[in-house]
Every structure is written in structure tokens, then in C-alpha cells.
């Protein structure tokens, strides 16, 4: 890792694509896809940078030929609004070719000159700051024309003069008398009231944004955009994704709202000439996926009401442009929920990327983590810089989360949470820098729900002696499991009992404790090992295995060696050491195979007070513990089932005889 004092010294790249950490293959594909406008499907675990890659792709695509979309009323067919597109920023040649655009831009430039000459500097900053597009310019010009027609006090002053003149005339001619004066005054007051009511409703309507129903509605506005549009449509319903037409409750008597005013664009239309990003793509309904496929093929899509019970369902606009690049993302299970034709469309005109969840633990990649921490600090904007030692502690956490030797985790979202938690602690202590001590504290505070539940499980099971961490017992083993993610370990007490067979034909292995499919199959494999290696006729016995208090269920094969040890202990009457916990998968040939989550399991064993942990030999280097924890437990790597029994069973003649017998069986198999 490079040498530095604080992360404030670390330069941060300006482009998003250069800020992506550890996804070299994905970055190459995204660059190609952006250059050639190709679709991309990114599959991987959450928090590995899929959305950042999609945003970077939009940044790489040139913001050329952006279009604004306006919807006009159709005088011939009300429910078929007319759609017109204009370039957001037309070239000088385009402006000269179109007389309407030339007139519009001439007026706009004249207005800019007047603002720069006569408006105060503060107003100039506001009025000249935004570079509005042609679509908004058209709408504002029409609104300005309408306001000019309806603004001013000329009509009001004329009406006031007429009232005053009428009163003077009536008074001068002697028309006021005791018989009619109240009637005349009532008429004058009534006329004045009606006029004031008219003025109020007209002014109120303009202030509320009500415009002339013959004016167009701007439904796609790309004003101010310097890069290709990036639209995140994750979790969008049909209306938000494909566009919608609002329901009109007043559809008769001239009170209804015209169809073109009720039209709303969808994400596919706003992403025109840019990137449409959909995470968890399988969460889209099949119909929405089909319509999305249609939009991708046709590059235009008409807007209609999405609800059959809405009056908007009878409205359908002319096709609206939607020439977007789709970046879909999800995990491996989301691929099952994808419409086959949609995935085929992406493959046929784009790329599929499997996003990495780890990267090699090298000095170069450690430098990338330094950059990542600096980026998170800048993005948050509220936490102080990290010291060299604090960043080293974050990298150490990345090693731990990777769960594999010589690897660093790329679950950057969770590591970003650790960075922010450490920064919050430093702010509470009014420290100008985040130190190693703050990161260590943050590790304890910023725990996942699974880790917190796991800790409470251990505490409650200790209190009620569901498992023991000292002494020995026949048929009882401290297994290990993970809860949720692979970083949350859990002690899994397993007990076994052997009884005479209930059937004369065969013995059974009966396992209880809400076992999943893989766990059940692993249990059946254990029975094969016992039959083969013990040398006893197990058809005379029923073997009962219970996973104690596993209300959350058990899945996976990592408890295989624990089950086998518990059954053999019960069958042979040999006690099992309770200060030993174990995890590992077992093949039918007696080999101990690697499992996942060994770091989390080891931490759970330490918290439970266990002194030794038996793990597969191939997992030994995957365990990553902090300095103090390393001294609190002995890690015993094993490669076969005989090694497991050697360390798990209490010393005695029965154990020696069993080990000799099983070792002999193993040698025979090797020959």
C-alpha cells in the first residue's frame, strides 16, 4: 500500500469509470458498450458497484442529438394526441433551416441581452444560469404570450371608469331618487362582484399553472444536460416505466381535462439517447418486460393509460421516441425471473457481465482501496480524513469479509458503511482525523442484523445451557453454522441417539430440526460413511439426530462432520469434547471438504468460549482474525474423518480401538 499521512492527500479521478474499484473486466465491457451503444446485463452480489458502472456508462456516452418531446392536442381525434420532437440544443444550421426555431432563438437571445444590460447582477445569475432547451423555450414562449394577453390592469381600469362614469351620469341627470336608488346601487354592486370574481379566477388559474388547453405539454425535457441521460427505473411500476395517462373524473359537460394535458412520460422516454438502468430486473412483471422488449426493438413507444378502469386507457398518443441503451442488473437468482426474449435481446445486441465479489490481495489493489476510502469521504462530505493506519484497518476488514485466502472483498457498500460509522465516531469525539481506534469501534457498532441476532443466540443458549463449552458428553457435538450472510456465525448444538431398529428389514437415520434439502442429503451421506467405515451392521439400529432449537432452519452440508461425530459417539459410547466446535463437509469416502463462512464461524466459537475449532485443511488459510482473537482459539485443520475423531473424542481405549479400525479401513480404500 502506498505511503501517505491522511486520505486528504489522495487524488480522486474526475470520471466515474475511473472510480470503479476492482471490476476491470466489467469496466472494459462498459467502455465498449458505451462507444457502440450496446445493452448490458450485469449479474452479481449486491453492493459490488453495478449502479456505479451504469452511471459511468451514461457519462461515457456523448450527449449528442438530445431531444425534447411535446404533446399537442389533436383537433381531429381528441384521444390521439400529437407528438412532436425537437432537438434540445439544435445547431446553428438547424436553427437557420427552421423559421420557427430562428424566430424563437432570436427572441431568446434578445431577452438575454436585455437581462444582461438592465437586470441586477443577482437576477442575472438566476436568469442566465440555466441553459434551457428548445422544448422548454417553446413552452415558455407560449406561456409568456398568454400572460401578456391576460396581464395588465387595462381591462380593470376601463371597467372602473365605466362604473364611475355611470354613477356620475345617473347623479347628474337626477336618476337617483328614493324609489330606485337601492335598485341601481344593487345592479352596480352585482356587476362589480361578477367582474371581480372573473378576475380572481383568471389570476388564480394562472398562478396555479393552469395554461391554455391548446398549448403543448412538455413531457421530456433535457435542458441543462451535458451528458447522456441516466434514468434509474429500478422498482418502477408499469406507469412510471412505460408512461401513463392520468384519469379524468370530469369527462363531460366541457369540464374535463383534454387528453394531451394528462399524458405523462415514462422512464423509457426520458432515457431516450441515454441509459435506462433497472436493478433487480426480475422484479418487473412479465408484461412490463414484454413491453420493454417492444420499446427496445421499435425505439419508440406510444403512451396510454395503464389502468383498465381509468379514463386514460382510451387515450393513446402517437409513438414517442425511446432509443435507449438498457443496463439491467440483478443477482444470479434474478436470471430465472427474466423473460427469455428480453435476455436474448440483450445478448444479441450487447454483453453479459458477471460482476466480481472479490479481488486479489496485492499492493496495487490495496492502493485501490485507499482511493475507495478517499472517494467515500468526499461523497459523504461530513466525515474527517482517515489516517494511514485507519485505512489499513478498513483493508483488514475487506480481507475478513472476503472469506478466502489472499482475497479482498468487493462488497463496497458494506465497507462504505464502516467508513461512515468510523467517521461518525470521530466526529462525536471531535477528532480531526479518523484513526485505527475509530475503525475498530465502528466494527462493533456497524454490525449486520444477522451478527446481532447471532450474538444474542449465543448468549441465550449459554444461559440455558443448550450447549456447553467445557467437559464432555456422549452423542453431543458443537457444530457451527452461518446466519444469513457468511460473516455471521452461530453455534449449532447437535445431539444423536442410537436405538434398536423399528424395522427388521433396515435401520433408519432420522434427522429433525427444520432441515433443508441439501442438509437432508448431507445427513444421508453420513449414514453411508458410518456403514462403510465402522464395520458394524447398522441395519439393527435407528440413528436419531436432532439439531437443537434451530427454529430458523438448517441448510447446507457444513454440519456433516458434526453429525457423523455425534452418531459415532452415541453408537460407540465415546464422549465428545465440549470445548471443541467443528465445521466441514464430508464426502462418502470420508474426506473433509471445504465450506464457507469459516471466519464468521470461528468468531462465533470464540464468543461461545470454545477453545478449539476443527475446520477443513483447505479452509485453514481462509480464516482471518484480528490480533487478540488469534490467541483465544486453536484452529485444527483436518483432511479426513479419522483426523476429526482424533481431535474431537475424549482419550480412552474405545477411542484408540475405533481410530485403529477406521484408519485400517481408510488404508484399504487408498490401496
Inter-residue contact 478 to 491 (CB < 8 Å): yes
pLDDT number for residue 377: 95
Condensed to tens digits (0 to 9), the pLDDT of residues 573-624 reads 999 999 999 999 988 888 899 998 899 899 889 988 899 999 999 999 989 8
Report which secondary-structure segment, H or E, holds 429.
none
Q: Give residue 208's pLDDT.
A: 46
With 90 as the cut, is the pLDDT of residue 1 above it?
no
**CA atoms of 586 and 439, how far apart (whole Å):** 38
| C-alpha cell read off for 564 | 457423523
Q: Is 472 helix (H, G, I), strand (E, B) or coil?
A: strand
Cβ partners under 8 Å of residue 70, min gap 6:
83, 84, 85, 86, 135, 138, 139, 216, 217, 218, 219
In three-state secondary structure terms, 38 is coil
Backbone angles phi, psi at 577, to 5 degrees: -65, 130
pLDDT digits (tens, 9 = 90+) for 275-329: 999 999 989 999 999 999 999 999 999 999 998 888 888 999 999 999 999 999 9
d(CA 581, CA 629): 16
Confidence of residue 663 (pLDDT cuts 50, 70, 90): confident
Where helices occur in 208-328 by DSSP H, the ranges are 238-242, 267-270, 286-298
Task: For residue 547, count other CB atoms closer than 10 A to its CB.
Answer: 23
The arithmetic mean of pLDDT across residues 637-656, rounded, is: 92
Cα separation, 249 vs 256, whole angstroms: 7
Q: For 466-670, which CATH class?
A: alpha beta
Question: What are 87's three cell numbers?
Answer: 432537438
- Grid cell of 555 as nine digits: 441448510
Give CA–CA dist 341/606, Å, rounded.
51
Is the CA virtual torsion 453, 454, 457, 462 positive or negative? Answer: negative
Cell of 643: 483426523
Tell me which residues are annotated as active site: 558, 601
Q: Where are the domains of the chain?
A: 16-68+221-354, 357-446, 466-670
Q: Residue 596: what pLDDT?
A: 87
CB 105 within 8 A of CB 91: no
**553 or 567, greater pLDDT:** 567
What pLDDT does residue 231 have?
Answer: 94
- DSSP, collapsed to helix, strand or coil, labels residue 382 as coil
pLDDT at residue 503 above 80? no
Say if 16-68+221-354 and 357-446 have the same CATH topology: no
Please report how the helices 121-129 and 99-118 are oriented relative to each other, as an axis angle in degrees rounded to 10: 160
Q: Which fold has domain 357-446?
A: Helicase, Ruva Protein; domain 3 (1.10.8)
Neighbours of 355 (CB within 10 A): 19
Tell me if 638 sits within 8 A of 615, measured CB to CB. yes
CATH number of 16-68+221-354: 3.40.50.300
Whole-structure pTM value: 0.78
pLDDT tens, position by position, 134-143? 888 888 777 6
Distance, in Å, from the CA atom of 649 to the CA atom of 521, rounded to the nearest integer, reads: 25
Nearest alpha carbon to residue 481 among 552, 384, 531: 552
* C-alpha dihedral, 289 to 292 to 297 to 303, nearest 10°: 140
Using CA atoms, how far apart are residues 470 and 605, in angstroms rounded to an integer? 12
Is 41 within 8 Å of 64 (Cβ atoms)? Answer: no
Q: Mapping DSSP to helix (H, G, I), strand (E, B) and coil, where does residue 530 land?
A: helix
Amino acid at each position: 500500500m502506498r505511503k501517505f499521512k491522511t486520505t486528504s492527500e489522495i487524488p480522486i479521478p474526475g470520471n466515474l469509470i475511473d472510480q470503479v474499484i476492482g471490476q476491470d473486466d466489467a469496466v472494459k465491457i462498459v467502455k465498449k458498450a458505451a462507444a457502440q451503444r450496446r445493452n448490458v446485463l450485469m449479474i452479481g452480489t449486491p453492493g459490488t458497484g453495478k449502479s456505479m458502472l451504469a452511471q459511468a456508462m451514461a457519462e461515457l456516452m456523448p450527449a449528442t442529438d438530445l431531444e425534447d418531446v411535446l404533446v399537442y392536442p389533436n383537433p381531429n381525434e381528441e384521444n390521439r394526441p400529437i407528438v412532436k420532437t425537437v432537438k434540445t440544443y439544435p445547431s446553428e444550421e438547424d436553427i437557420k433551416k427552421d423559421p420557427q426555431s430562428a424566430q424563437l432563438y432570436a427572441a431568446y437571445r434578445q431577452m438575454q441581452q436585455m437581462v444582461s444590460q438592465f437586470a441586477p447582477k443577482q437576477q442575472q445569475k438566476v436568469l442566465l444560469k440555466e441553459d434551457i432547451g428548445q422544448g422548454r423555450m417553446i413552452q415558455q414562449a407560449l406561456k409568456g404570450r398568454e400572460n401578456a394577453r391576460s396581464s395588465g390592469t387595462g381591462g380593470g381600469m376601463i371597467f372602473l371608469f365605466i362604473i364611475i362614469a355611470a354613477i356620475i351620469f345617473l347623479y347628474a341627470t337626477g336618476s337617483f331618487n328614493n324609489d330606485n336608488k337601492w335598485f341601481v346601487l344593487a345592479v352596480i354592486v352585482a356587476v362589480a362582484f361578477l367582474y371581480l370574481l372573473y378576475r380572481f379566477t383568471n389570476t388564480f388559474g394562472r398562478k396555479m399553472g393552469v395554461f391554455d388547453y391548446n398549448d403543448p405539454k412538455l413531457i421530456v425535457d433535457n435542458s441543462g444536460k451535458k451528458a447522456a441521460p441516466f434514468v434509474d427505473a429500478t422498482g418502477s411500476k408499469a406507469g412510471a416505466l412505460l408512461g401513463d395517462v392520468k384519469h379524468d373524473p370530469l369527462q363531460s359537460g366541457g369540464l374535463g381535462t383534454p387528453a394531451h394535458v394528462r399524458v405523462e412520460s415514462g422512464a423509457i422516454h426520458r432515457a431516450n439517447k441515454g441509459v435506462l438502468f433497472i436493478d433487480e430486473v426480475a422484479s418487473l412483471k412479465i408484461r412490463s418486460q414484454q413491453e420493454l422488449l417492444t420499446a427496445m426493438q421499435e425505439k419508440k413507444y406510444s403512451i396510454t393509460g395503464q389502468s383498465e378502469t381509468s379514463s386514460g386507457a382510451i387515450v393513446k398518443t402517437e409513438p414517442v421516441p425511446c432509443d435507449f441503451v438498457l443496463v439491467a442488473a440483478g443477482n444470479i437468482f434474478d436470471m430465472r425471473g427474466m423473460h427469455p426474449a428480453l435476455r436474448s435481446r440483450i445478448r444479441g445486441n450487447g454483453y453479459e457481465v458477471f460482476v466480481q465479489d472479490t479481488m486479489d490481495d496485492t499492493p496495487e489493489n490495496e492502493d485501490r482501496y485507499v482511493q475507495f476510502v478517499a472517494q467515500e469521504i468526499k461523497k459523504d462530505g461530513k466525515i474527517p480524513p482517515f489516517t494511514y493506519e485507519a485505512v489499513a484497518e478498513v483493508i483488514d476488514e475487506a480481507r475478513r469479509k472476503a472469506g478466502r485466502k489472499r482475497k479482498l472483498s468487493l462488497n463496497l457498500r458494506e465497507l462504505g458503511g464502516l467508513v461512515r460509522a468510523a467517521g461518525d465516531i470521530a466526529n462525536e469525539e471531535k477528532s480531526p482525523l479518523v484513526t485505527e481506534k475509530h475503525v475498530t469501534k465502528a466494527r462493533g457498532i456497524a454490525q449486520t442484523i444477522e451478527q446481532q441476532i447471532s450474538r444474542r443466540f449465543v448468549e441465550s443458549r449459554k444461559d440455558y445451557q443448550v450447549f456447553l463449552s467445557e467437559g464432555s458428553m456422549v452423542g453431543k457435538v458443537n457444530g457451527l453454522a452461518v446466519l444469513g450472510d457468511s460473516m455471521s456465525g452461530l453455534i449449532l448444538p447437535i445431539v444423536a441417539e442410537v436405538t434398536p431398529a423399528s424395522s427388521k428389514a433396515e435401520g433408519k437415520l432420522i434427522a429433525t430440526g427444520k432441515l433443508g434439502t441439501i442438509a437432508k442429503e448431507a445427513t444421508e451421506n453420513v449414514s453411508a460413511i458410518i456403514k462403510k467405515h465402522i464395520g458394524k451392521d447398522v441395519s439393527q439400529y435407528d440413528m436419531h439426530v436432532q439439531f437443537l432449537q434451530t427454529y430458523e432452519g438448517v441448510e447446507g452440508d457444513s454440519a456433516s462432520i458434526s453429525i457423523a461425530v455425534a452418531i459415532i459417539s452415541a453408537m460407540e459410547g465415546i464422549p465428545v469434547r465440549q470445548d471443541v466446535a467443528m465445521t466441514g463437509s464430508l464426502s462418502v469416502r470420508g474426506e473433509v471438504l471445504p465450506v464457507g463462512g469459516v471466519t464468521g464461524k470461528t468468531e462465533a466459537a470464540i464468543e461461545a468460549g470454545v477453545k478449539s475449532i476443527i475446520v477443513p485443511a483447505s479452509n485453514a488459510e481462509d480464516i482471518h482474525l484480528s490480533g487478540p482473537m488469534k490467541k483465544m482459539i486453536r484452529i485444527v485443520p483436518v483432511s479426513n474423518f479419522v483426523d476429526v475423531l482424533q481431535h474431537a473424542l475424549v482419550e480412552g481405549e474405545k477411542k484408540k480401538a475405533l481410530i485403529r479400525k477406521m484408519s485400517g479401513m481408510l488404508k484399504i480404500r487408498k490401496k
